[in-house]
Amino acid sequence: DAGVTQSPTHLIKTRGQHVTLRCSPISGHKSVSWYQQVLGQGPQFIFQYYEKEERGRGNFPDRFSARQFPNYSSELNVNALLLGDSALYLCASSLSWGSYEQYFGPGTRLTVT
Amino acid sequence: KNEVEQSPQNLTAQEGEFITINCSYSVGISALHWLQQHPGGGIVSLFMLSSGKKKHGRLIATINIQEKHSSLHITASHPRDSAVYICAVGGTSGSRLTFGEGTQLTVNP
């Protein structure tokens, strides 16, 4: 059974551009969480989606948005990219909103120049 | 002060040594996770604990809920154990995790 998949694996963008990152959860998992990991730091929570609704949001500006589709896959969108948005973006899937167990994808490494 | 503190930040050991990484947290939790991250970024879940102790091969994780402290032990360390080890806690707000800064472990042959 496939694990959590993310695409693309690497991405280079220019300041001011927009980016869309994608995540497919483990089959049967209905919740997806997004995390940002800046180099040398631990991941920071961005969003959690469950049953296509936002169920949690971290301390990130409105340039960051996300959505979840009927098949439970998810997209993370970042507008007006800044140099500081360069990071590894991790997606984690879990069975439901309050599930303790989370399974992480390989991440998307975004570089903003 | 971070809600999750790990120590040490960096750790270098010789192959075969016993290793301990510590994690302290300041919030109420539903579960604590120990995660491993190799260069390139992928995160693997090693343990999820809500009480007591768990063992998997050469890895042992313990948690003391009253003291809000957890430890990850590696026995008979090996160079392939070299990675970043991250402690993360889950509270009562959904599946959201709060992470420590990570401990960079290097095991030399």
pLDDT one-digit tens code per residue, B79-90? 999 999 999 998
8 Å CB contact of B97 and A94: no
Q: Could you tell me the CA-to-CA distances from B38 to A103, B28, B42 in Å, in that order?
A: 15, 29, 6
Provide the 3-class DSSP secondary structure of residue A113.
Answer: coil
Q: What is the pLDDT of residue B94?
A: 67
Q: Compare CB distances from B48 to A90, A100, A107 and report the shortest one's residue.
A: A100
Percentage of residues of chain B with pLDDT beyond 90: 74
Burial class (CB in 10 A: 0-12, 13-18, 19+), A83: exposed
β-pair partners for A5: A24
Q: What is the pLDDT of residue B33?
A: 93
Q: What is the pLDDT of residue B96?
A: 85
Residue B24, Ramachandran bin (φ over 0: left; ψ between -120 and 50: alpha; else beta): beta
CB-CB neighbors (< 8 A) of B48 in chain A: 100-101
Residue type, B55: K
Q: What is the pLDDT of residue B37?
A: 93
Residue B79 φ then ψ, to 5° = -55, -30
Residues of chain B with pLDDT under 50: none
Residues of chain A with pLDDT under 50: none
Q: What is the pLDDT of residue B92?
A: 67
Tell me the longest C-alpha to C-alpha distance in chain A. Answer: 38
Q: What is the pLDDT of residue B29?
A: 83
Tell me the longest C-alpha to C-alpha distance in chain B. Answer: 43
* Interatomic CA distance for residues B104 and B109, integer angstroms: 16
8 Å CB contact of A99 and B30: no
Q: What is the pLDDT of residue B27?
A: 81
Mutation to test the A interface, candidates B33, B49, B96, most A Cβ within 10 Å: B96
A 24-83 residues with CB < 8 A to B: 31, 33, 35, 37, 41-45, 48, 50, 55-56, 58
